[in-house]
Amino acid sequence: MSTATDTSAPTPGDTAPDHGLREGAFGNATALACRECGHQVALGPYYACPECFGPLEVHYAFPAVTREEIAAGPRNIWRYKALLPVPDDIEQSPNTEPGFTRLLRADNLAAQLGLTRLWVKDDSTNPTNSFKDRVVACALSAAIELKAQVFACPSTGNLANAVAAAGARAGIKTVVFIPADLEKPKQVNSAVYTDRLVAVNGNYDDVNRLASEIAGEEEGWAFVNVNVRPFYAEGSKTLGYEIAEQLGWRLPDQVVIPVASGSQLTKVDKAFKELVQLGLVEDKPYKIFGAQATGCSPVSAAYKQGHDVVRPVKPDTIAKSLAIGNPADGPYVLDICRASGGAVEDVSDDEVREGILLLARTEGIFTETAGGTTTAVLKKLVETGQLDTSLETVIINTGMGLKTLDAISDRVGPAATIDPSYAAFTGSGVL
């Protein structure tokens, strides 16, 4: 089948199967709606509007939801299941139960940067050590609901880890595609869970194109970030819900979020807006900031040039988890950051390394290059006066430093190598 048919979606009520996947029930979700023209299609394996090719997004008819109901739920993302496109009995479904990660007060880093109040939302403690476990849990639910036989993704690394683990636990055939030059730890962190790790000679954008082609040719595949992307993307909303709940049901003033495809940033914003609509938090202004590495900063470049269009780039950065040169949600990130009074900023690879060390040495959190990017962008936003230091700020640490050891392994190490004697230690100059 051609790529053109592949992006088509039927109108509501048309139950024709698409590539062997069936439509299903998704809790309080009512339809997929085009973000550009509003055209609605049924909940199914569709991701592009049949009218204008705009991206499709899940719409809901939310019931009344109380803080108490949420607080009585499990200590994972399913406490928010009423706000997600998942069946009512989702807790019974096999999954890695991600989420409800810690929100840490970061007083040391705040003091160092001159901020009044700072928090780190630490998603490195998810089951496969990145925020991707959240989105994958929602995509897996959709894959099961749509009766997919194969669970798959193109990935910059962390997504492959999360898909491989979730697929193993669910007992579904799992195939993950990565750029061949990916960090070794991220390759191993997928290969332990699946025999079907495929390394592709090319960058992420090449891998993504290949995935779209396979999704069009094969039957019964659920590509988490391609044909079930609308369901997958909703998982990132739980980051926003958790930040608000963990702050005592209120919104922060400023949030700094790393941007690869840009999906996460747009969904944190969507989550905040939904919480206001549902009366779960008080309405108040908040600013959203996007963080990119200069070596792959198409959204930051567009922001700085005042453009609405994001021009694709060829990535060249150590922040491989953010190395998407043609970000699907780039224009929406621009809209959200501009409209909220935030910004999009980028930092060099050296600043990314400094960011990793800064977070580690002030807060005891070992982040990967994406978190180094976010921390370094926070610092730059303060230094350039783009961020208001008197306001309460949250940064999101999306991944774990053990997966990107190479980024800093020649920057840190033993202060001395000594013989096992007291004299050798006192003479070492370590103290």
Instruction: Specify the residue, 8 or 108, whose C-beta has the smaller distance to Zn ion.
Output: 8
User: What 3-state class would DSSP assign to 392?
Assistant: strand
Q: Which residues of 307-329 are buried (b: 16+ CB within 10 A; e: fewer)?
A: eeebeebebebbbbbbbbbbbbb
Q: Least distance from C-beta 34 to Zn ion, angstroms?
A: 3
User: Does residue 260 interact with ligand PLP by CB under 6 A?
Assistant: yes
Q: Which of residues 27, 154, 325, 399 is near ligand PLP by CB under 6 A?
A: 399
Q: Least distance from C-beta 67 to ligand PLP, angstroms?
A: 27
Q: Least distance from C-beta 46 to Zn ion, angstroms?
A: 12
The residue to which tokens 């299609």 are assigned: 41
User: Does residue 261 interact with ligand PLP by CB under 6 A?
Assistant: yes
Query: Which range, of 2-10, 42-50, 240-248, 254-262, touches ligand PLP by CB under 6 A?
Result: 254-262
Distance CA 209, CA 12 (A): 28
Distance CA 106, CA 232 (A): 30
Query: Which range, of 19-27, 42-50, 81-89, 322-330, touches Zn ion by CB under 5 A?
Result: 42-50
Q: Which of residues 96, 238, 263, 393 is near ligand PLP by CB under 6 A?
A: 263
The residue to which tokens 């980051």 are assigned: 239
Site string for ligand PLP, 316-335 (x = CB under 6 A): -----xx-------------
Q: Least distance from C-beta 324 to ligand PLP, angstroms?
A: 6
Q: Which of 123, 158, 110 is nearest to 319 (CA)?
A: 158
Q: Which of 373, 400, 395, 351 is nearest to 109 (CA)?
A: 395
- Joined together, the tokens standing for residue 250 give 């209120």
Q: Which of 25, 28, 58, 24 is nearest to 40 (CA)?
A: 58
User: Does residue 240 interact with ligand PLP by CB under 6 A?
Assistant: no
Q: Least distance from C-beta 157 to Zn ion, angstroms?
A: 32
Q: Least distance from C-beta 162 to ligand PLP, angstroms?
A: 9
Dihedral (CA of 25, 29, 31, 33) sign: negative
Query: Which range, of 19-27, 73-81, 177-185, 261-269, touches ligand PLP by CB under 6 A?
Result: 261-269
User: Does residue 41 interact with Zn ion by CB under 5 A?
Assistant: no
User: Does residue 51 interact with Zn ion by CB under 5 A?
Assistant: yes
| DSSP letter, residue 33 | E
Q: What is the dihedral of CA 420, 422, 427, 429, to 10 degrees?
A: 80
Distance CA 318, CA 316 (A): 7
Contact between 148 and 171 under an 8 Å Cβ cutoff? The reply is: no
Instruction: Specify the residue, 154 or 280, whose C-beta has the smaller distance to ligand PLP.
Output: 154
Instruction: Specify the residue, 39 or 235, whose C-beta has the smaller distance to ligand PLP.
Output: 235
Q: Which of residues 132, 270, 320, 379 is near ligand PLP by CB under 6 A?
A: 132
Contact between 159 and 225 under an 8 Å Cβ cutoff? The reply is: yes
Q: Which residues bind ligand PLP (CB under 6 A)?
A: 130, 132, 158, 258-264, 321-322, 368, 370, 398-399
